[in-house]
Amino acid sequence: MQRGRGAGPALVLLLALGICGLQLASAKLTVAEITKDDRSLILVAEPFGFSEDGRMNITVSDFMLWSPGEVKKNGPYDRVGFFVTTPAVEGQLELDLAEGKCPLDSQDIAITLFTFDAIDPKKGSVSREFRLFNMLKDYTGGEFSLFFANCEPDSAIDFTVEVALYNVWGDRFDYLPVGEDMLPFIYFTMFIMFSALGVVWTLMVIRGKQDSHKIHYLMIVLVAFKSLTVLSQAFMYHTISIYGDAEGWNIAFYIFTACRSFLFFLVVILLATGWSYMKPFIAPREKRLLMVVIPLQIIANCAIIYLDEFTPAAESWFTWRDILHLVDIVCCCLVLFPIVWSIKQLRDASETDGKVVRTLVKLTLFRQFYIMVVCYIYFTRIIVYLLESTLPYQYIWMAAAASELATLSFYIASGISFRPMPAGANPYFQLTEEEAIELTKAENEENP
């Protein structure tokens, strides 16, 4: 079909660019290069859940401080350094900066790790390990963000920083934060559940082969790639937990995610337009929607995953994150249009062709599918985000579990609605008594 021609080149280009750039990402072992950055406050590492023996390794090198006119500024550098704080008081930091206060002086809301006075001019670098247990009174664990502060007025900064955040459990290092250490188990459990769903659906399609359509076989492929996606996620997080790096599993995750995103939106749009059920073709406007939405959705999803592997220290990190999430939501809303078009066509048909019963059954089915898609989009794009933002850090894994369970429920509900059935039992092909009589007469005339 022609709909594949628009998505294919974009997908290949995306995967090629992604795989070529994967070496720059380093998961929980963060490497950031800051070049002539004049920001007073830089988020180096997002909130990380530390256990009772939570630790941080920070290595800074190639440090330079520039004053106006591109002239290298000499020390002291006691107003430039790193600190940690809890996510709850991050908003206060911005207020303090607006009032001319330096976060390095705000010991009530921030813990200064070290300033750049500690850098040896001969070596040009400094490496330190910090144990939160030694820095906080009555510490039993918590969630902290790592920031860089430059309180020197009218200056810009150059440096390279390597950060390792991890927890120690006995003699084992765990590079996953508390709350995310459940993710390998969550995703492997979901792999088993999606695989079981794929087996059940495949058996249904095989047993009802005479009543199966092309869309049913496409749904088998979708479930298979979804299973591979969560399996690669399970191994990716397990590897990060041990080594601090995905060790290549992120490449598999990118590929399976791209294929799964392509198939998911393709299946939703084809179901919404009645392809291979009511009609064996795709209308021109539906083809245009496919060629726009699917490549854009794949690029947005993979770019979001790829962006999450980098430190937010880059100036444009937050801007790109917000843009990509907006694109993802817009694409999800666009897939609702084919369902609305189908509902409108069926409503018009019920008023003109006289086949009210059959048309109203189809209309009800499409309305149910519309509600399912809306609920799925609302839950996975908004509710899950709210869960991630509001849950205590120890239970952040529940947001990922809720998202995967919602996806599983959506797949099951869609499968029940569009499962292979005999023509007489299928809502798409249910006939009135009058239509059944006419069909019987036509068959008798063809086969006397």
What value does the mean pLDDT of the chain take? 79
Largest CA distance in the chain: 103
Distance CA 413, CA 316 (A): 40
- What's the pLDDT score for residue 163? 92
- What's the pLDDT score for residue 18? 37
Distance CA 237, CA 247 (A): 10
Q: Residue 164 is encoded by which pair of tokens?
A: 């390792």
398 backbone dihedrals φ, ψ, rounded to 5° = -65, -30
| Cα–chain center distance at 334 | 18
Distance CA 9, CA 4 (A): 9
To which residue do tokens 């921030």 refer? Answer: 110
Q: Residue 360's pLDDT band (boundaries 50, 70, 90)?
A: low
For residues 112 and 196, which has the higher predicted lDDT (pLDDT)? 196
For residues 342 and 89, which has the higher predicted lDDT (pLDDT)? 89
Task: Indicate whether 14 pLDDT > 50.
Answer: no
Q: Residue 4's pLDDT band (boundaries 50, 70, 90)?
A: very low
Q: Residue 9's pLDDT band (boundaries 50, 70, 90)?
A: very low
- What's the pLDDT score for residue 282? 63
- What's the pLDDT score for residue 357? 53
- What's the pLDDT score for residue 307? 77
29-43, 47-61, 296-310 — which is least confidently predicted? 296-310
- Of the ranges 88-102, 111-125, 130-144, 342-356, the best mean pLDDT one: 130-144
CB 164 within 8 A of CB 244: yes
Q: Whole-prediction pTM value?
A: 0.80
- Of the ranges 113-127, 301-315, 355-369, 384-398, the best mean pLDDT one: 384-398
- What's the pLDDT score for residue 403? 95
Q: Residue 168's pLDDT band (boundaries 50, 70, 90)?
A: very high
E strand or H helix at 5, and its extent? helix 3-21
CB 163 within 8 A of CB 56: yes
**Measured between alpha carbons, how far apart are the two ends of the chain, in Å?**
38
CB 34 within 8 A of CB 159: yes
- What's the pLDDT score for residue 346? 65
Distance CA 271, CA 417 (A): 10
Closest CA to 173 of 84, 51, 47: 51
Please name each of the domains of the chain with its CATH number.
Answer: 3-23+177-350+366-426 (1.20.1070), 29-174 (2.60.120)
17-31, 237-251, 254-268, 399-413 — which is least confidently predicted? 17-31
Q: Residue 120's pLDDT band (boundaries 50, 70, 90)?
A: low
Q: What is the mean pLDDT of residues 245-259?
A: 88
CB 86 within 8 A of CB 143: yes
Distance CA 246, CA 118 (A): 32
Q: Residue 435 is encoded by which pair of tokens?
A: 């239509």
Task: Indicate whether 259 pLDDT > 70.
Answer: yes
Distance CA 25, CA 310 (A): 6
Closest CA to 335 of 404, 302, 382, 286: 286
Distance CA 324, CA 330 (A): 10
Distance CA 68, CA 78 (A): 19
